[in-house]
A and B are shown apart, each in its own frame.
Chain A
Amino acid sequence: MASKNIVGAVLVAGGGVAGMQAALDLANAGYYVYMVEKSLAIGGRMAQLDKTFPTNDCSMCIISPKLVEVGRHINVELLTLTDILSIEGEEGDFTVTVRKNPRYIDMSKCIACGECTKKCPKKLNNEYNESLDTRKAIYVQYAQAVPLKYGIDAKECLFITKGKCGTCKKLCPADAINYEDKAEEVTFHVGSVVLAPGFTPFKPTEFDTLRYTDVKDVITALEFERYLGATGPTMGHVIRPSDHKDPKKLAFLQCVGSREVNRASNGYCSSVCCMYAIKEALIAKEHSGGALDVSIFYMDIRTFGKDFEKYYEKAKAAGIKFVRSRIHSIQPESGGGVKLNYVTDGGASTVELFDVAVLSHGLVITPETKELAKKLSLATDCYNFAQTSTFAPVALSRPGFYACGAFTGPKDIPSSVMEASAAAAAATSKLTPARGSLTKVVKVPTPVDVSGDPPRVGVFICHCGINIASVVDVAKVVEFAKTLPFVEYASNTMFACSQDSQEKLVALIKEYGLNRIVVSACSPRTHEPLFQETLAAAGLNKYLYEMANIRNHDSWVHAGHPEEATRKAMDMTEMAVAKAVLLSPLKENVIDVDPTALVIGGGVAGLNAALTLSSQGFKSVIVEKDSKVGGNANRIHSTTKGESVADYLSDLKTKVQNDPNIELVLSSQVDKVDGYVGNFTTTLTTGQAVKHGVTIIATGAKEHKPTEYLYGENRRVVTQLELDELLKADDQNVAKAETFVFVQCVGSREPERLYCSKVCCAHTAHVAVELKKNKPQARIFVLYRDIRTYAQKEDLYKQARDLGVIFIRYDLDSKPQFSEDNKKLTVKVKDPVSGHHLIIQPDYAVLAAAIVSGRENELAMKYKVPLDEDGWFFEAHQKLRPVDFATDGMFMAGLAHYPKPMDEVVAQAQAAAARAVTVLTQPKMTVGGIVAEINQARCSGCGVCKAVCPYSAIDLDDKGKAVVNEAMCKGCGNCASSCRSDAPSLRGFTNAGLFAQIATAL
């Protein structure tokens, strides 16, 4: 490798949530990223969602900061409307050729004002809203799109296709339209490739019995999602499509295009449909004020993720009906609605009418992705998902190629995000020498010290072409601004954000000695960073900036009231000036980062995290309380893919032991913790003090000790892990055994443990298959509540059934009964199909005992990180930050977060390492800016600020007074508003500034 050229850049294909996360982690770890997206904008499927389960977070709200971050990242090159043509070479140095398709819009000129789209005569299906409404031929994909630039649909544009029209070009105030735009081929080099092409929803068009194509009131779940969305075709109002009336009864049909080998050839479970159906059902019901009647028709409810089971219970409590039945066909009703025939649990055939049938369609690989995989010679499974191994879950069959998201199997957002981070780590494990070689750094002059100088405010009022000026009397606002206190200079500008305006701004700052800048233009949410960069370029502290949003909040919404709009623009400008006058230059301090990680827990997660960090060139210390590493994996026989865990573990141990970057401290635990991100000092119970920049908590979990089913009383009753141990040891009794009963959900999904342990169903199916293969005459019964072999693991379930394993369902109120007579074990269970009781006398009864958390309260307190009510470590955000804690520099991996199978454990460990690298890779960290500070003279030490700080950034010092750790503060200002004596203040949003704004608002 050393002799070869290693390129410090990575290609990320796909701009969905997985691709974005991978790109950010890569770019923040010192690699240049080419992000290729075939559509106009990034965001992917998540941008189409209304809410996300199980927190009902607004999808757009949580994704849009990520969109902006990717869009603005100096080391992420966004290539939209781009197709990959070829990738040649090998890991370390690939040559990528792409085709950039024409947008017909000059991105550097487009200000996304939307004037062009108003008069475009073409009305086309709006893909963002699943074609439920229309868009124009010149359009943005969705309102919050990044890049927020229009594009022309060349196939439909009248000018491009027929040479007629040209209206948009006439209307564009920024002269951004270029009908002559051409496709171009571009070639660049990368060291590795991360593929995140995502999925497409299964189109139920071929299922003629479901009548999707011809019955209006049969819709897909994604269509329903758009109806729910505030930006959807009905602005969040659920309708019955046939007559736009409020529906009263709604049916969700699960597994449409999933778990379906006959008609769809999709044998796998799509993993997310149960949850999204519950989500859509709940939200629709909520919208209706509870009146809506919702039924979900399902085969197994698969709510296996963190907090999913509680969500399911919440839905039941909210009155959502769950009917275990797979609907074969839908009949339309005259006058709207549909008729469903189904058989209830009791066997009764039922007919029920619904207003709308929602098809919970599965996730499938697109033909383009299939084509791409083929072109790149990547191994795929029979469903076109890319093949990976349990122990390298994001590495594809060809070196240098990595994947995240639905490409390797259907999965939800947090899993995709986890994999994205994991892929970022894996994709750079061989690129370490080139880290930082291609990344750009912004160089700005040292800001002039203006503290103590009287404010000299420069005010710039933007016309935004005609966007502002056609409504607001800009000249009048300028004249008004000149009369405001401390204003030294005020002028208007056609486009404040244009390159020449920016240059002029720099010149004016110097010419007039301006030390505060106010721009009255558009939204600070989109444009503040741009202007701040300009201030920095002019040698002014970038925080001496304030913006008045006289476009989005004024001219665009008060077009009919130009006088009031002008008055409002004046007020808004005055408010901005009043605040600007009181702004102080904010310091950003640099702190050292100790480039070492402390990994707590030496199980598969901890070891993988440390190895991944080592591959990135970072040292770690693993602290393991046991006298050996490996954790629970020491007890597991083989993975659901049949790989030997023992072999893997011994390989892993060898690697760790031989790795000079890894120090292993056995039989030790964390004793005392000091410090914060970049600068932790953790003292171990061995007395050793470890200095580290980040902490990864991978403390694992335990197998629940069952208190039922004669466990511990009868030797034939064993837990799943105990059976694995017997299998590992080639136990003769097991080998001789003829009859096995597996009982699922032992201790899981019970009121006191309201979660699914996630791994048991697949593991049971796997073991059952193995036992059957070894001894086909063996009689194997699986007693279950819902079989949850999600994703491609569904194949195991099918295989087990094909091999003759008998699956018998039981309910929580009719659990299997175990009895013992003369050392003979008898299991009695009611077969719900026949209604009869089955009596089984097994040689072994295997209990799928729950996975329970270690309830690491002490550890959590020491690092000031939270646990949820089940004792799992609580992540910063369930969807988008699944391995981060809210507290900076703290990460988690493995079962400490939630039960999960080994491939997900490895992925999460790699992800935690990737996230850790984004911290460790910077020798110095910049902290400060808009953060809180404490005036200790006003502090009583009552601790309210500390209690309300979501980031544990406030502590009490040895005098009992509050102090803010700038490295951990995110600037929310909770402390500042909670303190009764105003000891904390939030820089940039001080009381003085806000009071000044209130005063000038009136």
Chain B
Amino acid sequence: MPEYLVKESSLASFFQALTQGRRLLAPQGQGDNCHLEVSTGPVSLDYANTHLSPKAVFFPQTEKLLAFHKLADKPKPHQYQDLGDKAEPTVIFGIRPCDAKGLSISNKVFQNDRFTDPYWKGKYEKTLKIGLACLSPSPQCFCAAMGGSPFGEVGLDVLAYPKDKGLGLRTLSPAGEELIESTSAEKADLASEIQDLAKKAIEAQGPLDAYQAIDASKLMDLYQAKHWANTAEPCLGCGVCTFFCPTCHCFDLQDEANDLGGVRMRNWDTCMSQLFTAHGSGHNPRPSKVERVRQRFMHKLKYIPIKQDGVRGCTGCGRCVVMCPANIDIRSVAATMAQASA
């Protein structure tokens, strides 16, 4: 796909063009306070990553699915109304490649040959995703080690990177191509620059061999390893890791009703909670945090790769590393797993 250039002087018209017929979401704010928000114009490129991953755009923490009423005097009592598919055309600018990859992993959960989630699908397919490559990684970043790249292209329609106070762009899909063509961006040959920048950015991240070892290990060896009790010991079971993870996608269905009717909604759930697996009988197959912590790391590093042709469920965004109150660092855990199964 071709590359384009947006000069500093045309940034405003570039973003203006993006908002034509759709809403633009872009990162606003700094540090911990950086969020995807509706935007109209030139956006700051000076951020490490958004506080929450962009999954919330497609999979909100609380999402109403359907409503019903129980008023006998209304026509068609007790019928329900689908509340899905209210998505509006959207373009997101500034998704980091790790998060874009995360979205593509979740996308395979919500849309596959067995099942399509209409709530996800509607939003996902009406959204164009413009990534922003990372020139200098943060201390918690390790996307390359997870098979990605600061210039990764998976899950994106367009990849952008800061260039001379303007933007360098590479379109990655026909929709992306069409979008960029509708802007003032000019075609340019940036392939080698992108290659150089990507190489530098990858080198800035420490190498981590543990993942290959995990890939190579047998599932049951990893599962039955002795270290899990120690690994889980500091865990508070809060589930912050899952809330911030760009690939965690578990949810809980809830009905809320009053005397007029009710709604069914889904809310983010977390495998770190004991309630997540509690059965109605009282039995819980993951009774303690040891099983739950194992589940999370095994899911990210073994189960998803098995299901998604070797693609790891962790994209190396590093949010859990920063957010975990007990500093349970997935990189250290991976090292322990690799060591234990070796």
Q: Which of B258, B259, B282 contacts A937 (CB 8 A)?
A: B282
Compute how far the CA of A999 lies from the CA of B259 in the bound complex, rounded to whole angstroms. Answer: 9
Q: Please give, as numbers and ranges, the residues of chain B lying within 8 Å of A937 by CB-CB distance.
A: 282
CB proximity of B38 to chain A, nearest CB, Å: 37
Per the bound structure, the CA–CA distance linking A1000 and B282 in Å amounts to 30
List of B residues within 8 angstroms of A483 by Cβ: 72
Chain A residues with CB below 8 A from B72, complex form: 483
How far does the alpha carbon of A1000 sit from the alpha carbon of B258 in the complex, in Å? 9
CA–CA, A406 to B340, complex, Å? 87
A483 to B73, CA, bound (A): 12
A-B CB contact pairs (8 Å), 5 listed: A483-B72, A937-B282, A999-B258, A999-B259, A1000-B259
Alpha-carbon separation in the docked complex, A937 to B284 (Å): 13
Complex Cα distance, B72 from A492, in Å, reads 24
Least Cβ distance of B275 to chain A in Å?
13
CA distance A547 to B42 in the complex (A): 67
Shortest beta-carbon distance from A249 to chain B in Å: 59
Q: Determine the distance from Cα of A360 to Cα of B258 in the docked complex, in whole angstroms.
A: 61
Question: Could you tell me which residues of chain B, from 241 to 266, have a CB within 8 Å of some CB in chain A?
Answer: 258-259
Bound Cα distance A701, B253 (Å): 67
Residue of A at shortest CB range from B257? A999
Across the two chains, which residue of chain A brings its CB closest to B72? A483
Chain B stretch 280-298: residues in CB contact (< 8 A) with chain A? 282
Task: Count contacts on A: residues with CB < 8 A to the other chain.
Answer: 4
The residue on B at minimum CB distance from A483 is B72
When chains A and B are docked, how far (Å) is the Cα of A741 from the Cα of B282? 78
| Mask of A536-573 contacts with B, CB within 8 angstroms, 1/0 | 00000000000000000000000000000000000000
Q: Which of B282-337 contact A (CB under 8 A)?
A: 282
Which B residues lie within 8 Å of A1000 (CB)? 259
* A-B CB proximity, top 5 nearest: A937-B282, A483-B72, A1000-B259, A999-B259, A999-B258
CA distance A835 to B72 in the complex (A): 93
Interface residues of B in 70-86 (CB under 8 A from A): 72
Q: Which A residues are CB-close (under 8 A) to B259?
A: 999-1000
In the complex, what residues of A have CB within 8 A of residue B282's CB? 937
A 960-1002 binary contact with B (CB < 8 Å = 1; else 0): 0000000000000000000000000000000000000001100
Whole-angstrom CA separation of A1000 from B72 in the bound complex: 18
The closest CB in chain A to the CB of B282 belongs to A937
0/1 per residue, A699-743, Cβ < 8 Å to B? Answer: 000000000000000000000000000000000000000000000
User: A139-151 vs B: 1/0 string, CB under 8 Å?
Assistant: 0000000000000
B52: min CB distance to chain A, Å: 30
CB distance from B294 to the nearest CB of A (A): 23
B78 to chain A, nearest CB (A): 13
A999 to B258, CA, bound (A): 8
Q: Which residue of A lies closest to B258 (CB)?
A: A999
Q: Mark A449-484, 1 if CB is under 8 A from B, else 0.
A: 000000000000000000000000000000000010
Give the residues in chain A near B258, CB-CB below 8 Å.
999
Q: Which partner residue on chain B sits nearest A1000 by CB separation?
A: B259
Q: How far is the CA of A937 from the CA of B258 in the complex (A)?
A: 30
> In whole angstroms, how far apart are the Cα atoms of A999 and B256 in the complex?
13
Q: Kindly provide the distance from the CB of B249 to the nearest chain A CB, expressed in whole angstroms.
A: 30
- B residues in contact with A999, CB < 8 Å: 258-259
Within 8 A of A (CB), among B145-192: none
A483 to B70, CA, bound (A): 12
Nearest CB of chain B from residue A563's CB, rounded to whole Å: 20
Measured CB to CB, the closest approach of chain B to A567, in angstroms, equals 14
Mark interface residues in B54-71 (1 if CB within 8 Å of A CB, else 0): 000000000000000000
Nearest Cβ on chain A to B155's Cβ, whole angstroms: 43
Give complex CA distance A483, B259 in Å. Answer: 13
Within 8 A of B (CB), among A899-950: 937
Q: Name the CB-closest residue of A to B70.
A: A485
Docked CA distance A859–B209 (Å): 69
Q: How far is the CB of B321 from chain A (nearest CB, A)?
A: 32
Docked pose: A999 CA to B262 CA in angstroms? 14
Tell me how far the C-beta of A570 lies from the nearest C-beta in chain B, rounded to whole angstroms. Answer: 13
Binary flags per residue of A481-511, CB closer than 8 Å to B gives 1, else 0: 0010000000000000000000000000000
Report the Cα distance A342→B282, complex, angstroms: 80
B74 nearest CB across to chain A (Å): 15
Nearest Cβ in chain A — how far from B274, in angstroms?
A: 11
In Å, the complex CA distance between A501 and B282 comes to 45
Minimum Cβ distance to chain B for residue A207 (Å) = 69
Q: Smallest Cβ distance from B246 to chain A, in angstroms?
A: 34
- How distant is A977 from chain B, measured CB to nearest CB, in Å? 23
Chain A min CB distance to B255 (Å): 14
The answer for the CA separation of A999 and B257 in the assembled complex, in Å, is: 11
Complex CA gap A999/B260 in Å reads: 12
**CB proximity of A548 to chain B, nearest CB, Å:** 18
Distance (whole angstroms) from the CB of B256 to the closest CB of chain A: 12
| Bound CA span A937–B275, Å | 13
Shortest Cβ gap from A938 to chain B (Å): 11
Give min CB distance, A582 to chain B, whole Å.
16
CA distance A937 to B282 in the complex (A): 9
**Minimum CB–CB distance for A981 against chain B, Å:** 13
Chain B: minimal CB distance from A55 (Å): 45
Name which of B72, B259, B282 has the most chain A CB atoms within 10 A of its CB: B259
A999 to B72, CA, bound (A): 20
**Interface members, chain A 183-197 (any B CB < 8 Å):** none
In whole angstroms, how far apart are the Cα atoms of A753 and B243 in the complex? 64
- Least Cβ–Cβ distance between B107 and chain A, in angstroms: 39
A483 to B282, CA, bound (A): 35
* CA distance in complex: A937, B287 (Å): 13
B149 → chain A, closest Cβ, in Å? 48
How many Å lie between the Cα of A937 and that of B274 in the bound state? 13
Q: What separation, in Å, do the CA atoms of A424 and B96 have in the docked complex?
A: 88
| Distance between Cα atoms of A937 and B259 in the complex (Å) | 32
User: How far is A717 from B213 in the complex, measured between Cα atoms in Å?
Assistant: 97
Cα A483 to Cα B258 with chains together (Å): 16
For A574, the closest partner residue in chain B by CB is: B259
User: What's the minimum C-beta distance from A961 to chain B, rounded to whole angstroms?
Assistant: 15
A1000→B257 CA distance, assembly (Å) = 12
Bound state CA distance, A472 and B72, in angstroms?
25
A65 to chain B, nearest CB (A): 37
Closest CB in chain A relative to B138 CB, distance in Å: 40
Q: Scoring A residues 517 to 535 as 1 if CB is less than 8 Å from chain B, else 0, what string do you get?
A: 0000000000000000000
A992 CB, nearest partner CB in chain B, Å: 15
In the assembly, what is the distance between CA of A1000 and CA of B259, in Å? Answer: 8
Q: How far is the CA of A3 from the CA of B123 in the complex (A)?
A: 99
A645 to B282 CA separation, bound complex (whole angstroms) = 68
Instruction: Tell me how far the C-beta of B101 lies from the nearest C-beta in chain A, rounded to whole angstroms.
Output: 41
Min Cβ gap A237→B in Å is: 44
